[in-house]
Chains A and B, each alone.
Chain A
Amino acid sequence: MDTNQNSPPPARRIDPVRAPEPTAWNPFAYALGELPLAAQVQFEEQMAADPQCCEDFLAALKMLNALRASRLTPPTVTSLANPRRQVRIFPAITAVATAALAACLIRSTVSPSVDSLHDAVALSTLLQLPESSVEDHQEPLSLADPVVENLETPDWLLTAVDLDEQSSNSDTPSSDDDEEAIF
């Protein structure tokens, strides 16, 4: 039975003599602080005697620095995380949704059914921008900004809500009249 199975690996430092590629590895081992003191001094003497050894050490330092620096990846920016972009996207969404709403309203005047009005209201709710997307936006908005103009024109929404209320009050008779008119 192996009693040493769970024991941690013994502390050990790199032996530059026993390492397979001691010459190539020593600059890295020195730069990483993995050489024992005697080997450190030996490596420093080697550098003093051989300028190429200094260059190898410098190359090792540069490579380790490049590796460390490559870790510093810039934060990934997602389009939805940018409140300013959300505000800029809003006019386009508004235009499309308004067109759809208008189409629904026109259809409801020709054939005003409860379903079509519900569709209109449902579309109008889609146009409500989440509060956070505007409030989180820190940049000052000028009144001349078309984005502000679009945000300050919710008349279509009030109209849609009014139409919804009217349809719920006067419910089916109007559709009956229309059916009579058709037939």
Chain B
Amino acid sequence: MSSDPVDIPDNHRKAVENACIQLQPDLLLFLTGILRNHHLADDAWQRTVVLALQSSHSARIATLRGWLFQIALNEARKILREIRKLPTPSDPANFADFAPSQTPRSLNSLATPDSRVIADETRKVVQASLKTLPPEQQEVIRQRVYLGRTFSEIASDLNLPLGTVLTWCRRGLLRLKDDPRMKDLLKD
């Protein structure tokens, strides 16, 4: 009975290395989304790679992607726990874009042009998909996602109940998520 070559431990390390390279953009985005800080995300990414290589012998090739995401999540949560224990940050600058509940605008930093260069065709797809939404949903998404305004600010400006604004945003984003064009775009 011959064993599967990909299950040989020596091959595991190579497969993990390759997976780390291939999945780096997704994993970094994932970590930045959780930690809301590029420096912390880089730190967590570094830890993730080291841990993944150290424990590559226990990796299952078939579920390598999920396995790496779990390691990354664990590392991110360790960092979150450390930070959440702190009553006040020793250096506020280090945590300027942390604490999502306090700084909901911080995620906008993820959209730096250098990190997420988007092709014209992609932009057209997103804009076309966005235009299929009712105007009020477009407006709330524009203000919340593009301008980084809080829902309270948007509700106040539009003189609407906060719940209405939240509902419009939620429905709009979920409709976009189900839009076949967006699905194709994000699949790539």
Q: Which residues of A contact B (CB under 8 A)?
A: 8-14, 19-21, 24-25, 28-37, 40, 44, 47-48, 51, 54-55, 57-74
Contacts and interface: CB of A to CB of B under 8 A. Distances in A.
Contacts of A12: 152, 162-163, 166
A70 B100 contact: no
A58 B111 contact: no
A152 to B, nearest CB: 41
Contact of B126 (A35, A61, A70): A70
B50 interface: no
B30 A70 contact: no
B151 interface: yes
9 contacts: A9-B155, A9-B160, A33-B101, A33-B106, A40-B100, A51-B69, A58-B33, A58-B69, A69-B117
B80 interface: yes
B73 interface: yes
Given A48-B74, A61-B110, A72-B118, A67 B162 contact: no
A25 B127 CA distance: 21
Interface residues of B, number: 56
A122 B24 CA distance: 68
Interface of B: 26, 29-30, 33-34, 36, 63, 66, 69-70, 73-74, 77, 80, 84, 100-101, 103-108, 110-111, 113, 116-118, 120, 122-123, 126-127, 130, 141, 144-146, 151-152, 155-156, 160-163, 166, 170, 173-174, 176-177, 182, 185-186
B45 to A, nearest CB: 14
Q: Interface of chain A, helix or strand or loop or mixed?
A: helix
Nearest to A19: B170
B182 to A, nearest CB: 6
B170 A28 contact: yes
